[in-house]
Structure 1
Amino acid sequence: MISTQSFIHEEVQGFKFGYAPFGKPSLFVHTYFIDGLLIDTGQRKLHKQIIASTKDLPVEKIFITHHHEDHTGNIPSLQKLHQCPVYSSEKTSELMKNPPRLSFIQKVMYSQREAYHDLIPIKDKVSTNNFEFEIIPIPGHASDMVALYEPNRKWLFSADLYINSYIGYFLSNESISDQIESTQRILKLDFDTLFCAHNPQLQNGKIQLEKKLRFMENFFDDVAKLHTKGFSENEIFKTLNLKENHLVKILSNENLSKMNMVRSVIRDIKRKNKHAINS
């Protein structure tokens, strides 16, 4: 089933796209349009719906927050449609020249996206006629991920930093330590509206992001304590009474799992200890 919706919040127009092979969608992808700027391009799976929703917008430039397939799926089509430049961080522009392969479940939900060689790398800020957005690196979920922050309006376009106040599963290459540090850095900003790419919080966005930070910090501490006592990753998983979504784990070839969260904590601890020894 396919779901397409739109909404307006202050000067921002949001587009919400959902797909599920069976039943109603429960996971949605958002793109945002503000003053000539289109933020992200959605999933290739809903190419027709995304083109139809955005074809009449006066898009002057596109900005990509990171290389994941649900943000980059329609770059070529939207660039051709609007005849506009497409910007990103330098790291995203490099990753999109040869994007990572997708798991089976990612292909089913989002479809494969094309490589794109013409992203224009920028840093510090992206400007429109009436607004100026600070570009803020927020690695963790993806090494190249950035947020856009408009301080005068207290808007934060947070890409996938939030998603929810808890975490259901992790990508195998995510870093929970980096996510914690990125979230701590973002929470120092003055914002209220959180334009998340999957679950926007139009009110009390900062409060919701604080809840996620507490969840991550508590999870990290719980795993770290058991790891220090010599528990294996499987023993930690069982002791903390964690539950795995086995269907997601299998269909993603273990690229998406709750166990990846445990492994990320252990990996980050080892990395930190190694750095301390070398320094």
Structure 2
Amino acid sequence: MIHQATNFYELTAYKLGRFYNAINLTVHFFTLPEIYIDSAQPVMEKHFIEIAKNHIPRYCLLTHYHEDHSGNAAKLKKLFNTKIISHKLSYSYLSNGFKLFPYEKMIWGKPERFTPDLFYKELLDLGKYTFKIIHTPGHSIDSICLLEINRGWLFTGDLYISSKPKYLRKDENIYEILKSLKKVLSLDFEVMFCAHKGIITDNPKLLIKKKITYIEEIIEKAKNLRKKDMSLKKIRNKLLGKEDITSIATNFDFCKLNFIKAIFQEELNEGNGYQ
């Protein structure tokens, strides 16, 4: 079990994980006085609840519905009457549940269904803290970032993670991710809080820029190679390398070919014979 805490002024970043201390196997949730940003993964419920008993939140702000972010929100409602706030597009996933792959159940666990108490508007005023809500779809339809406008703190959920990603989930939209990255780059922030990387104080805007540039370059190179009639798998091999243990372990739900397919998703949907 991974259980680490890092303090930053009045904020604490808790890093939780069931297996190895790897970026994709551990998740951060962040706490401020009476406020949580996300609620960790269900398999870490015991550790999460122990933390919550010592720092009871009045509010929990969700960045999106995925199980490693909303995983213990139902427990917060039941045990502490915490008000859960989400994007309105999260509602059906949180209240009705959603399908999980076997690897997701094993690594993060299945969250309990619940109904969020409030939906985000453009600004969320919680007294000492005021958050600007930025809708940043791509990773999921309901993904948001939260900018604490008085401190220049940006909570990015799963938008950033890495400047040079090689894998993509089947349901991710690379063009929406690119738009969302450009949207947050225009914001005024000095510190970034990433759900998988943790607290990033060293020039976070530069990291966002690097990711934008990287994605744009991969898209351009992939399209140029496709013009030469190269198959999608060969494009993957050339730009990202062959699939590895990460792809296999997730039954190719999270893999390199998905990144390349996402670039040509419109053509694939139209049935233009891409392979």
Q: Matched residues in 2 for 1:109 and 1:189: separation?
A: 33
Give 1:264 shift: 0.4
Give 1:7 shift: 1.6
Question: In the alignment, what sits opposite 1:205?
Answer: 204
Q: Matched residues in 2 for 1:98 and 1:229: separation?
A: 46
Cα-to-partner distance string for 1:118-173 (whole Å, 9 max, x where unaligned): 44222212222211101100111111100000222111000001111111311001
Give 1:268 shift: 4.7
Q: Matched residues in 1 for 2:240 and 2:89: separation?
A: 37
- Return the letter of the residue paired with 1:202: T
Residue segments in structure 2 that go unaligned for 5+ positions in a row: 271-275
Question: In the alignment, what sits opposite 2:76?
Answer: 78
Give 1:243 shift: 2.9
Is the 2:94–2:116 Cα contact (8 Å) retained in structure 1? no
- Return the letter of the residue paired with 1:267: Q
Question: In the alignment, what sits opposite 1:131?
Answer: 129
Give 1:81 shift: 2.2
Question: In the alignment, what sits opposite 2:18?
Answer: 19
2:264 alignment partner, SS class: helix
Is the 1:93–1:120 Cα contact (8 Å) retained in structure 2? no
Is the 2:170–2:258 Cα contact (8 Å) retained in structure 1? yes
- Return the letter of the residue paired with 1:239: K
Is the 1:141–1:161 Cα contact (8 Å) retained in structure 2? yes
Q: Matched residues in 1 for 2:235 and 2:202: separation?
A: 36
- Return the letter of the residue paired with 2:22: S
Q: Does 1:170 align with 2:168?
A: yes
2:243 alignment partner, SS class: coil
Cα-to-partner distance string for 1:247-276 (whole Å, 9 max, x where unaligned): 33233232111110000001156679xxxx
Question: In the alignment, what sits opposite 1:100?
Answer: 98
Residue segments in structure 1 that go unaligned for 5+ positions in a row: 273-279
Q: TM-score, normalised by structure 1?
A: 0.90
Is the 1:155–1:191 Cα contact (8 Å) retained in structure 2? yes
Q: TM-score, normalised by structure 2?
A: 0.91
Question: In the alignment, what sits opposite 1:120?
Answer: 118
CA RMSD of aligned residues (A): 2.0
Question: In the alignment, what sits opposite 2:36?
Answer: 38
Question: In the alignment, what sits opposite 2:214?
Answer: 215
Question: In the alignment, what sits opposite 1:226?
Answer: 225
Question: In the alignment, what sits opposite 2:260?
Answer: 262
Q: Matched residues in 2 for 1:230 and 1:41: separation?
A: 46
Superposition map of 1:43-54 within 5 A:
43-54=41-52
Would the alpha carbon gap of residues 193 and 181 (structure 1) be closer, same or farther in structure 2, given more than 3 Å must change? same
Q: Matched residues in 1 for 2:240 and 2:66: separation?
A: 30
Give 1:59 shift: 1.1
Cα-to-partner distance string for 1:228-251 (whole Å, 9 max, x where unaligned): 333221221233352312x33233
Q: Matched residues in 2 for 1:35 and 1:57: separation?
A: 8
Q: Matched residues in 2 for 1:216 and 1:47: separation?
A: 35
Q: Matched residues in 2 for 1:144 and 1:77: separation?
A: 21
Would the alpha carbon gap of residues 15 and 250 (structure 1) be closer, same or farther in structure 2, given more than 3 Å must change? same
Q: Does 1:140 align with 2:135?
A: no
- Return the letter of the residue paired with 1:158: T
Aligned length: 268
